[in-house]
Amino acid sequence: MITAQQIKDVLETYGNARENLLVILRELENMSGMNYLDKSVLIQVAELMNLPPSAIAGFVEFYTMFRSKPRARHVIRICKSTPCHTMGAISVFDSVKQVLGIQEGEATPDGLFYLERCECLGVCSVAPAMMVNYDLHGLLTHEKIVSILSSYRNNPVADGWGSGEEIDAAQTILPRTGQTIRLLENIGKIDPERIEDYTNSGGYRGIRKALSVSPADVVSVVKDSGLRGRGGAGFPAGLKWSFVVKGDMQKYVICNADEGEPGTFKDRILMEGNPHLLLEGMMICGYATNATIGYIYVRGEYRRSIDRLQMAIEQARASGFLGRRIFGSGFDFDVFIKEGGGAYVCGEETSLINSMEGFRGYPRYKPPFPGQAGFNNNPSTVNNVETLMSVPMIMNRGALWFKEVGTVTCAGTKLFCLSGKLNRTGLVELPMGVTLREIIDVHGKGILEGKAFKFAQIGGSAGGIVGQDMMDTPLDIDTLMRQGATLGSGVILVCDETTCPVDFLLHTMSFFKHESCGQCTPCRIGCAQLEKTTMNLAKRIATVPDLTGLKTLATLMKQTSLCALGQSPIMPIETMLKYFRKDFENHCNPDYKCAACDASLSRFFTGTH
Amino acid sequence: MTNSIREIPVSEAFLIIGSNTTENHPVIGAMIKKAVITGGKKLVVVDPRKIEMAKYADVFLQILPGTNIAILNGLMHVIIKEGLHDKEYINSRCEGFADLEKTLERYTPEYVADICGIDDPEMIRKAARILGNAKPMAAYYCMGITQFKSGVNGVKSVANLQMLLGNLGVAGGGVNPLRGQSNVQGACDMGGLPNVFTAYQPVTNPDARQKFQNAWKIPTLPEKPGLTIVESMNLAIEGKVKALYVMGENPVISDPNQHHVIEALKSLDFLVVQDIMLTETAEYADVVLPGCAFLEKDGTVSNTERRVQVMRKALNPIGDARDDWWIITEIARRMGVEWVYNSAEEIFEELRAVTPSYAGMTYERLENELLQWPCPTIGHPGTQFLHKDRFARGLGLFTAIEYTPPAEQVDPEYPLVLTTGRLLEHFHTGTMSRNSKILDAIVPEPYVEIFPNDAENYNISDGEIVSVSTRRGSIRLKAFVTKRPKPNVVFIPFHFHEACANVLTIDALDPLCKIPEFKVCACKIEKVYP
Amino acid sequence: MAIKITLDGREVECERGMTILEVCNKQGIRIPTLCYHPQVSKTGACRLCIVRVNKTMFKTACTEPVVDGMNVISCDDELIFIRKSLLNLLLLEGDHNCLYCEANGNCELQSLCHEYGIEIPPAGDIRNVRTRDVTSSEGLRREENRCILCGRCVKACAEIQMNRVWDFAGRGSHAHLTTHIQDVLGDSECVQCGQCVQLCPTGALSFQTVYGRGLEWELTKKSSICIYCGVGCKIDFSINPQGELVRADGALDGPNKGHLCVKGRFGFDFVQSPKRLKTPLVRKNGELVPTSWDEALNHVADRLKQIKTENGSDSVMAFTSAKCTNEENYLLQKFIRAVIGTNNIDHCARL
């Protein structure tokens, strides 16, 4: 039981402003020993923070990391997103249930383990994966699960540092031969926990250079470089910076590190492997947009990223790189971390801002855009980790250099996250415009077990799939968009001939249903309806007109949803039906046999979820 | 109110003193809350109880009941010491500043904190700075300022503060008393007071009398001001007041010192009560006349911001109930005068002719326009706030006022301070709210609020029956142990006839306006053993 | 600053900063809305007000500011299809059977379904059973299966009453309302001002007073001014065919701007209480007994005349009332001054 004094102490530590609510609750949940927030604790927090209890109740129910019922000492979260599903998440689920003798939503009698499922954990190259409290474990097999769980019985620490070594940043990067290494250059070479390593390898030169010219000049350089947002939408970074409202008000740089798109793990590798590069990118952005405060919103599951970034921030402050008049200039800048709580939608920039302010991660209608009224209604520039990390090298080496690789409209390199049925999975850095064939054959070393390629999901669950016909299409933002797909965050999830498209789509729709925030009508109800229809297909009780129904509904959602989440399901649905209509029609026959769907229905989509 | 409700968003800061706004004027309370919470406006709350508004206050000064003047003087002391007063305004629009300044000299925060029971004098400085630095600042008060034997001085002190800060005669500023009854403003405007005709024209003024004699076509009108309610009760007991005509009032519950009131009513030769129900007062009547309830009649009412609105009949009168104006007219006719009125509107036409501030109002205008008096002529847009450019008397007069303690002090026999007031869910004597099912269900019974430490001292637990006694009487009710009152202060809502708070209250009066000191007296509390 | 947009092919002048919806309202063009309410801040969640902007874009009229040269189509076949589809989704999500809903006839969802020609309920059922809490609060009923999650109640409480009792909880299709920490209304900090009910577009929130006592089309509306405190809130009363007061709504044109407190909302039973006096009473042999108006009035007139004559005018006192109208107060003071001949008149201004 948490005492009133403990609650007061936590509030004292983090400050009782609403914007600290998430981290306060996370701390209290950790302190509970049973990974939950008791109602009495919530009431006390509400009172001490002068917040309505209803707001706290609504907040706790929004973020999946929180529970108001006791769980156990260790919460096991098994990833159910498409990359892990493709690699056998169902078997992981079965193994854990068998080893512990519990079902989902249950605790072992000794109060040690509680079983849940979750969406993408960002370790997709080592799928299937699970998280025990904050420790991540990949490449799971039955034997490995037995050994992992027994190690927790003996050593009950789970703070992110007990993750398996397969999670390590440097290990995730595929052999560099054939890659165009820019962003990844220092990862594995420098110690991310030592600022000297970073400065000795040329770090913090970009910001110095930026400070020697005017903010407008910095914006021009970034504009000239053609750098486009790497989070998924591909909006030109320099242009975004130039849209930030001018004036005396406080302005912010916000780094979107809520990497949640299933199949994406690049930002985690970047933050864990080279945290100072992100700080430097944010400083430059801050200088260019006249912002003096930066926030990094990191998803709560990325414990190690949070710890490394915090370490980097403290070192940078100690070195005088953050704080007042940095590098002897007249420019003040400091960076703070905000944590997420398990909500994919918070990757949407306005949801992210609401979440930073201590609200439910509901997206805001736009306009106003964050550049006009963002965090605390002040102008805010929101950029992805990869985008911001690209900035120092642009400052150092110039816009022209940056454009030397890539396509005409999409300059530079792109990180691709390889997962699924490949002989080699991991992170690669390749010029924009690289082909899928090159990625699969050269870097992925072909399809696992010599099976045939069926499709690749590009850009994550919110992206579409591409088939054999697009093997030689240059992968950049605009080309894919023209083809009805999206480059998104750089997910390359490869599926082989054994994959059932209906089963795959069911997991994708289940993801959307789980992650819809519920604010706007089309997405809230539409996502549930899409999952239901797809489930009917998997159950082979749907009819052919239901296929049109899926497209009609997803089109409506595309036209009317408040944010990108609800606008996305059309992409997987449309591309799936384009390539595999026959498979879908087959599933409309009650006598059709599908082992994959049967497995998902009987072993995974059971009970309530 | 000198100013208007719709100016709340314009105010940069608020002083709420002696008003439990969110419970007694909830709609205005919510508007001020919105200005503070959403608009980021500053708020200083002064009250003996930790009322809801205190939660949103930048500074909350929890004073002992009856020490308003001390705290106001203290705030003004700091404002002058720190040079936050509006010198130009004071020079050009006011007089009497030197006297005020001299009187305020000794009201240092330390001295005042001691009188008011505030632990930290710094809080007074902080509050004064907030009030002094925000412009316009609006002062809102209610019976927590007026219901003292020093009530008039309390009001004058609020006015002093607002003149000192140049907040009178500007939008978003003002001295804003929140009127507690739907038409208490109108009853005053209409001359329902012993010393004035309509629009505050003094009965002692021969010109005013002449005007009304002409209008009413009678030879003379009495020039001596009449009696106030409490005075009339005393004279009834002395046998000097023989007949009492009560229209829509319930003095048995609403007036201080209930035993005294009942004695007075019993002493009368003749008591007429005109009301919608058989009230506790009507029980003593010789004749009871059933009037219409508000929804059964047409007429105008004037709200706290001087806005006059037309009410239209929504329901047919119950039984044989009649319009109050019809009843009065009928009695008058039977006493030999030729009164003919066919509608409320006809009466309004007559009254606006003798009431300068209402002269420009007609039913037609009132139903289509937002009109606040003074509205002297047809075509005048009404007055959003008073004292623009000049005060009624010309220059605003500062009144130097010394703090005087309440009439009754605590002593070993009566060691606690009793204060009374209203609840959100109930109203005045309960005739209306306690006869409304839902309101009565929410708060069905009386209680006394007592601070936890005090409760412990008297061995009282939450929900237990206690007796509360003063020199005037004793009542029994449930204890509600809460941190809302100040230690050593108990609070009783006065809506409940079964435990009538006014059995306990003192009938000490303000010498000028004769308001009773409801808000403070000495009491004791004892557990009742079954 | 004035700008020009093209609205349904017509050039229209409007102010910068206005939303498309505001311009349409001004132009008398009806746009369907559910989450929008003029008394609270914009939400943009129901998406029903979607209009076509510059030919290809769909924007919510309630949130989208007009810009110079914008081309807006308020309604076309595709927009009708979209709005109808959204309504169908809402119908799919909740229990929207008007037969047993007290908002029948006073439901914005119902009106829109009618307007957009929804003839049969959509197939399928993806409903999550939500809270039904109809007894815990003395004044309010909550039947959340009729809720469309527009958020107007949340904002009514947070932006008008400023109490923040309501909030959203859950997520996605499990989103729902909560008061306090998932407690019933009666156990929350709700002060029963009823503003959330007044703003609810469906029957999700309703008043206990209305339940079973008349449907919208049976109710007569009359406005009056609240009898309680001095704010002078204007109230729209609903009266059922039996003549009972069943509902009170804050009127927008009063000083209250649509708001009411718990007394204004629920404090009017007394008007129709069985305890109301229905005839004059006179005391005979120590008892108050019913009498005729004539007898009562004559008796009062005679006694007052007598006392005035025997003891002088100043032996008569009148208490007038802060509950009565200006006209009645005026008349009583005129009576006391002109007919009785004394200034002995006072009222409870000080009490």
**Residue C265: enclosing H or E segment and its boundaries?**
helix C262-266
Q: Please indicate whether, in this complex, the C-beta atoms of B438 and C338 are within 8 angstroms of each other.
A: no
Residue C11 β-bridge partners: C6
Mark the ranges of chain B whose per-residue pLDDT is less than 70: none
Note whether C270 contacts B: Cβ–Cβ < 8 A: yes
Q: Which residue has the tokens 């969640």?
A: C45
Report which DSSP code applies to B292. Answer: P
CATH number at residue B151: 3.40.228.10
Q: What is the C-alpha separation between A305 and A277, in angstroms, rounded?
A: 13
Domains observed in chain A = 4-62 (no CATH), 74-167 (3.40.30.10), 195-403 (3.40.50.11540), 413-493 (3.10.20.600), 501-603 (1.20.1440.230)
State yes or no: pLDDT of C126 exceeds 70. Answer: no
Confidence category of residue C40, pLDDT binned at 50, 70, 90: very high
User: Helix (H, G, I), strand (E, B), or coil: what is residue B60?
Assistant: strand
Using one digit for the tens of pLDDT, what is the confidence trace for A464-516? Answer: 999 999 999 999 999 998 888 899 999 999 999 999 999 999 999 999 999 99
Report which DSSP code applies to B516. Answer: B
**Residue C224: enclosing H or E segment and its boundaries?**
strand C220-225
Instruction: Give chain B positions within 8 Å (CB) of C319.
Output: 229, 244-247, 249, 251
Q: Is the peptide bond before C38 cis (omega within 30 degrees of 0)?
A: no
The stretch A305-322 carries a mean pLDDT of 96
Instruction: Give chain A positions within 8 Å (CB) of C163.
Output: 52
Using one digit for the tens of pLDDT, what is the confidence trace for A351-391? Answer: 999 999 999 999 999 999 999 999 999 999 999 999 999 99
Q: Choose among C93, C168, C181: nearest Cβ to A56.
A: C181
Last residue of one domain, picked from the residues B178, B199, B219: B178
Q: What is the C-alpha separation between B186 and B337, in angstroms, rounded?
A: 25
Reference B320, options C298, C280, C283; nearest CA is: C280
pLDDT > 90: percent of chain C: 89
Number of cross-chain residue pairs from A and C with Cβ atoms under 8 Å apart: 135
Q: What is the C-alpha separation between A465 and A201, in angstroms, rounded?
A: 39
Q: What is the number of residues in chain C?
A: 351
Q: For residue B96, report the phi and psi dihedrals to the nearest 5 degrees.
A: 90, 10
Note whether A381 contacts C: Cβ–Cβ < 8 A: no
Q: What is the count of structural domains for chain B?
A: 2
State yes or no: pLDDT of C351 exceeds 80. Answer: no
Last residue of one domain, picked from the residues B178, B213, B244: B178
**Sequence-ordered list of residues with C-beta below 8 angstroms from that of B238, at least 6 positions apart, any chain:** none
Q: What is the C-alpha separation between B52 and B33, in angstroms, rounded?
A: 10
Last residue of one domain, picked from the residues B143, B178, B213: B178
- Rounded to 5°, the CA angle A307-A308-A311 comes to 85
B313 within domain boundaries: no
Residue A132 β-bridge partners: A76, A135
B309 within domain boundaries: no
Q: Choose among C42, C149, C168: nearest Cβ to A360.
A: C168
Q: What is the C-alpha separation between A548 and A558, in angstroms, rounded?
A: 15
- H helices of A424-500, in order, are 436-438, 477-482
Nearest CA-CA distance, residue C95 and chain B, Å: 28
* Token pair belonging to A402: 């940056």
B357 within domain boundaries: no
**Residue A95: enclosing H or E segment and its boundaries?**
helix A89-100
For an interface test with C, give the residue of B302, B342, B429, B436 to mutate (most C CBs within 10 A). Answer: B436
Q: What is the C-alpha separation between A89 and A199, in angstroms, rounded?
A: 42
Reference B262, options B243, B281, B244; nearest CA is: B281
Calculate the alpha carbon distances from B236 to B243, B258, B271, C332 in Å. 8, 14, 11, 20
In Å, how far from its chain's centre is CA B167?
22
Confidence category of residue A566, pLDDT binned at 50, 70, 90: very high
Nearest CA-CA distance, residue C263 and chain A, Å: 24
B443 within domain boundaries: yes
- Rounded to 5°, the CA angle A420-A476-A561 comes to 80
The reported pLDDT for the residue numbered A609 is 47
Note whether A42 contacts C: Cβ–Cβ < 8 A: yes
> Chains near B, with 3+ CB pairs < 8 A?
C
B237 within domain boundaries: no
Check: CB of residue C339 under 8 Å from CB of residue B270.
no
Question: Would you say the ipTM is above 0.90?
Answer: yes
CATH number at residue B495: 2.40.40.20
Calculate the alpha carbon distances from A222 to A236, B263, B445, B527, C347 in Å. 9, 91, 71, 78, 77
Domains observed in chain C = 2-75 (3.10.20.740), 94-272 (3.30.70.20), 281-350 (no CATH)
State yes or no: pLDDT of C119 exceeds 90. Answer: no
Could you tell me where the beta strands, DSSP code E, fall in A343-490?
Answer: 380-384, 413-420, 426-431, 453-458, 465-466
The burial class, CB within 10 Å (0-12 / 13-18 / 19+), for C127 is: middle
Note whether A43 contacts C: Cβ–Cβ < 8 A: yes
B461 within domain boundaries: yes
The reported pLDDT for the residue numbered C349 is 65
Confidence category of residue C123, pLDDT binned at 50, 70, 90: confident
Check: CB of residue B407 under 8 Å from CB of residue B147.
no
Reference B475, options B458, B451, B495; nearest CA is: B495
Using one digit for the tens of pLDDT, what is the confidence trace for A59-108? Answer: 999 999 999 999 999 999 999 999 999 999 999 999 999 999 999 999 99
Using one digit for the tens of pLDDT, what is the confidence trace for C269-299? Answer: 899 999 999 999 999 999 999 999 999 999 9
For an interface test with B, give the residue of C189, C210, C327 to mutate (most B CBs within 10 A). Answer: C327
Q: Which residue has the tokens 């797809």?
A: A534
Number of cross-chain residue pairs from B and C with Cβ atoms under 8 Å apart: 453
Residue environment code for A536-572, b if the CB has 16+ CB neighbours within 10 A, otherwise e: bbbbbebeeebbebbeebbbbbbbbbbbbbbbbbbbb
Q: Which residue of A has its CA nearest to C125?
A: A529
Using one digit for the tens of pLDDT, what is the confidence trace for A164-186? Answer: 888 998 899 999 999 999 999 99
Q: Choose among C193, C301, C345: nearest Cβ to B194.
A: C345
**DSSP, residue by residue, A400-429:** HHHHTSB-SSSBSEEEEEEEESBSS-EEEE
Check: CB of residue A463 under 8 Å from CB of residue A502.
no
Mean pLDDT score of chain C, rounded to an integer? 93
Task: Annotate B381-434 with three-state secondary structure.
Answer: CCCCCCCCCCECCECEECCCCCCCCCCCCCCCCCCEEEEEECCCCCCCCCCCHH
Count the helices and strands in chain C (H runs, E runs): 8, 17
Using one digit for the tens of pLDDT, what is the confidence trace for A100-151? Answer: 999 999 999 999 999 999 999 999 999 999 999 999 999 999 999 999 999 9
Residue A495 β-bridge partners: A455
In Å, how far from its chain's centre is CA C144?
19
Domain that holds residue B44: 5-178
Q: Please indicate whether, in this complex, the C-beta atoms of A560 and C86 are within 8 angstroms of each other.
A: yes
State yes or no: pLDDT of A243 exceeds 60. Answer: yes
Work out the number of other CB atoms within 10 angstroms of the CB of residue A470.
23
Q: What is the number of residues in chain A?
A: 609
Work out the number of other CB atoms within 10 angstroms of the CB of residue C80.
14
